[in-house]
Each structure stands twice: as C-alpha cells, then as structure tokens.
C-alpha cells in the first residue's frame, strides 16, 4: 500500500492533493479530495473553499469539511464526479487552523481525509465588534426599552418609554436627526424584513404601531390589549407575535393589514418570545409561572413545556443551533434544547438580562443587563461568557447590531448616550 501527497502554493492559494491507493481492488471509494482555499483570512468574514474528487465508477460525490474549529461537520449536497464544489465558512475568532475534507459517493463509500493545510486568520480581536469607537449623547434622556438598526444600516432607532418617543440616529456620522412621537410608553422595537417599517409595542395604550420608513410617520395601529411588551417577527415578515404581559395570551398580527388574526393562549404574564428559523414554533416565557413553552404557530397547540426559573425576562433561539437561551432577572442565562427536553445548563452573568442579541452569524450573544460589570458576550458553541464590553463609567441596557455585523450600538440610558463599538480587522476598516 502506498500513499502519495503533493502540496504547493499558487497565487496566494494553497493546494493539497491526496491520492489513496489500496490493496483491495474492489473498494471503489472516491479519491481523496483536492482542496483549495485562501491561506489567510479575517475572523468574522466569510471565506470560500473548494474541493474536487473523482469516483472510479463515475458516481456523484458529496464532501465533508473539517474547518479546524468547533463547527459541526456535515455533508454537502452531491455533485458530479470530477466537478468542483464551493463552500463558504466564517470563523468566529482569529486563530491558526488546518482545513481538511473527505468525499463520499452515492453508495456511501468514503475517502480518507485530505492533508490539512494551515490557514492564518489575521485581524485583531474576535469576530464581533469589541473596539469602542465613539460615544454619542442622546438629545433626550429617558429609560430605553430597546433599539434596532434599519435593514440598510443607515439609521439606529431607540425607544424612550417616559418620553413616548423614538430617537433616530444617522449611523454615518452618529448624529441624531429625528424623533417620532408614538405615545403609550414605547417598549419593544422590531424592524420589518423589507426595511420599510419599524414596529413598536406601546404598553400604556395596549397597542402596536407601524412606523413607515423613510419619513417616520405612523401608518397603522392595532390594539392587542393588556400592556403588550415582548414582540417577535416571523422569518418571512408576514406576522408579528405580541405578548400581553398582564394577560395569558399572545396576539398574532398580520402585517399586511395590521389585523389580529389569532390569540394563542399561554401561561400567565408572557414576558419574552422567540421563533424557530421556519416560524413554525413559538417559544413563550412566563414571568410568574417560571415556564418556557413551545406552541405551534398554526393551531396554537402545545408542543412542549419546561420548568425553568422565576423571572424569565429574555429569550432567543441560537441561530444555526438546536437550542435556546433564556435570560432571567436574577443574572442567569439558561441553555435549553429546542424541544425543551432534557436538563438546562446555566451561564452566570449579572443583573437583569434585558434581551439577547446574536452576533457574528450566531457565534456570539450579547446580553445587556443594566449592571456596571459591562456587557457580557457569550460564545454560543461553548455556552460561556468569553468577554465583556466595558463602556467607560457606564452600563449597557439595550443593544442593536448593524446588519453587516461590523458595528454594535450599546445604549446607556442612565447616562443618556450611545456607545458605538466596531469590529477590529473587519473588511474595509
């Protein structure tokens, strides 16, 4: 049995070719892939890798990449023998890794792994905004409920509950350029998927408003009752789910005409909401019942219930992972499987977890907590706090992230300012 390997660099790309010869002439496995990819990259920026393999019988082949990080290894789709597949991957942190691939034919026969080649991920710091670039004073002070950035990244919107207004900041120069009077103590803020609207819950008037962009005019209102607070938008943008914090139901609002089409009965005082990636499962946290429940968005049937903890205050489905994060008013984040089965893991933070905001394609989560320890950042593959963003002399009670992931806006309502963080090593910076 012999094994031969060639490796060479061409135009900044490193090629690794492997050929496996076996003594068994009937073992018709595809060839060890030829893998091509960049030799350097930036954490948080997608990198494209290519692989080619030939099957002795001409069968189709699929590929599995080992990226050298903690990402789960999965098979790609099948392609024709001898053709090249391109796969993009984003690394969470700066590091030196080795990338490998193996092939599998349509009959299930697998090749060996190609020889790993080194990939140097340049850039300073991790794959999320961690460098304080600017602090901006808000023209009006007040308790901030939430914040959101427009789809094109041009504007930041912030809710001020006592002032019944939205503040609008232009992100190009971090200048506040407008205010929107919405009434009713605005709380939760969600942007539409097409970028034409901002939706805001107003507990004092039991309503949800639709703010038309640009122009910042209110073009629709729907009454859902009983102090609506938490809100989540379906993946396609067709429905809003709004929790009535003083009742036991969640309203399903159709965004095309702003009409309540269904009320989903829940445990008392629903305090936080989340949806799965397909919009088929609605997760509802109950503040007083200490439960986290899963409901079908089609018929409202109960799909699962887990007893978690008192004071559930924030909820999020981790992108690309089969698990949820549930924050509490007692400085803890519980990690649960998406089916709510099995035991929960606990991550300790400080103070009241106001929200959960996912960064860098879901590799990280920010958990603003109204505490002076700083803004905790969690690695979602490790379920652990790996860093803190420390605004000078302040705290972070709400967070919004630019769509491209290069900027994070941390709002400190106690000092009336916005702290702007940028990701070091990002392309174009």
Residue 402's CB is within 10 A of a number of other CB atoms, namely 20
Give the pLDDT confidence score for residue 27 in this predicted structure: 56
**pLDDT tens-digit map of 197-221:** 999 999 999 999 999 999 999 999 9
pTM: 0.75
Nearest CA to 376 out of 393, 390, 360, 394 is that of 390
B/e letters for 47-58, b = 16+ CB within 10 Å, e = fewer, are bebbbbbbbeee
Can you list the positions of beta strands (E) in 213-356?
A: 217-223, 228-233, 239-244, 249-254, 259-265, 270-275, 281-286, 291-296, 302-307, 312-317, 323-328, 332-337, 345-348
**pLDDT tens-digit map of 107-137:** 999 999 999 888 888 765 667 888 899 999 9
CB contact set of 292 (below 8 Å; sequence gap of 6+): 283, 284, 285, 286, 305, 306, 308, 312, 315, 324, 326, 336, 340
CB contact set of 26 (below 8 Å; sequence gap of 6+): none
Instruction: Name the more confident of 395 and 191.
Output: 191
With pLDDT > 90 as the criterion, what percentage of the chain qualifies? 70
375 pLDDT above the threshold of 70:
yes
Q: Where are the alpha helices (DSSP H) in 82-204?
A: none
**pLDDT tens-digit map of 250-283:** 999 999 999 999 999 999 999 999 999 999 999 9
Secondary structure letter of residue 204 according to DSSP: G
Q: Which domains does the chain have, with CATH numbers?
A: 3-122 (2.60.40.10), 131-422 (2.130.10.10)
**pLDDT tens-digit map of 293-330:** 999 999 999 999 999 999 999 999 999 899 999 999 99
Tokens matching residue 6 = 């060639």
Least confident segment among 1-10, 115-124, 181-190, 400-409: 1-10
């Amino acid at each position: 049995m012999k094994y031969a390997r060639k490796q060479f660099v061409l135009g900044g790309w490193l090629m690794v070719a492997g050929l496996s010869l076996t003594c068994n002439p009937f073992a018709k496995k595809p060839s060890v892939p030829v893998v091509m990819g960049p030799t350097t990259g930036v954490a948080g920026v997608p990198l494209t890798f290519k692989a080619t393999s030939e099957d002795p019988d001409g069968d189709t082949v699929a590929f599995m990449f080992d990226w050298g990080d903690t990402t789960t290894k999965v098979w790609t789709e099948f392609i024709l023998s001898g053709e090249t597949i391109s796969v993009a991957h984003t690394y969470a942190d700066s590091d030196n890794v080795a990338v490998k691939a193996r092939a599998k034919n349509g009959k299930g026969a697998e090749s060996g792994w190609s020889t790993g080649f080194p990939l140097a991920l340049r850039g300073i710091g991790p794959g999320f905004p961690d460098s304080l670039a600017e602090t901006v004073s808000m023209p009006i002070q007040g308790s901030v409920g939430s914040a959101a950035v427009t789809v094109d990244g041009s504007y930041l919107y912030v809710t001020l509950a006592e002032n019944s207004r939205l503040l609008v900041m232009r992100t190009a120069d971090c200048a506040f350029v407008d205010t929107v009077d919405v009434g009713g103590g605005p709380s939760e803020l969600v942007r539409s998927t097409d970028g034409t609207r901002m939706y805001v819950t107003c507990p004092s008037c039991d309503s949800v408003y639709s703010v038309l962009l640009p122009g910042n005019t209110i073009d629709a209102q729907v009454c859902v009752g009983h102090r609506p607070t938490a809100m989540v938008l379906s993946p396609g943008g067709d429905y809003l789910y709004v929790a009535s914090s003083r009742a036991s139901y969640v309203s399903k609002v159709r965004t095309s005409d702003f009409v309540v089409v269904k009320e989903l009965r829940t445990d008392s005082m629903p305090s936080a909401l989340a949806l799965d990636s397909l919009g088929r499962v609605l997760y509802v946290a109950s503040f007083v019942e200490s439960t986290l429940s899963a409901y079908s968005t089609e018929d409202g049937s109960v799909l699962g219930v887990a007893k978690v903890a008192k004071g559930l205050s924030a909820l999020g489905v981790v992108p690309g992972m089969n698990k949820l994060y549930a924050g509490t008013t007692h400085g803890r984040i519980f990690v649960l499987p998406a089916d709510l089965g099995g035991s929960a893991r606990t991550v300790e933070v400080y103070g009241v977890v106001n929200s959960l905001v996912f960064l860098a394609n879901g590799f990280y989560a920010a958990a603003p907590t109204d505490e002076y320890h700083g803004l905790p950042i969690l690695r979602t593959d490790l379920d652990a706090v790996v860093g803190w963003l420390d605004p000078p002399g302040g705290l972070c009670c709400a967070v919004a992230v630019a769509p491209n992931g290069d900027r994070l806006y941390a709002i400190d309502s106690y000092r009336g300012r916005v702290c702007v963080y940028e990701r070091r090593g990002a392309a174009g910076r």
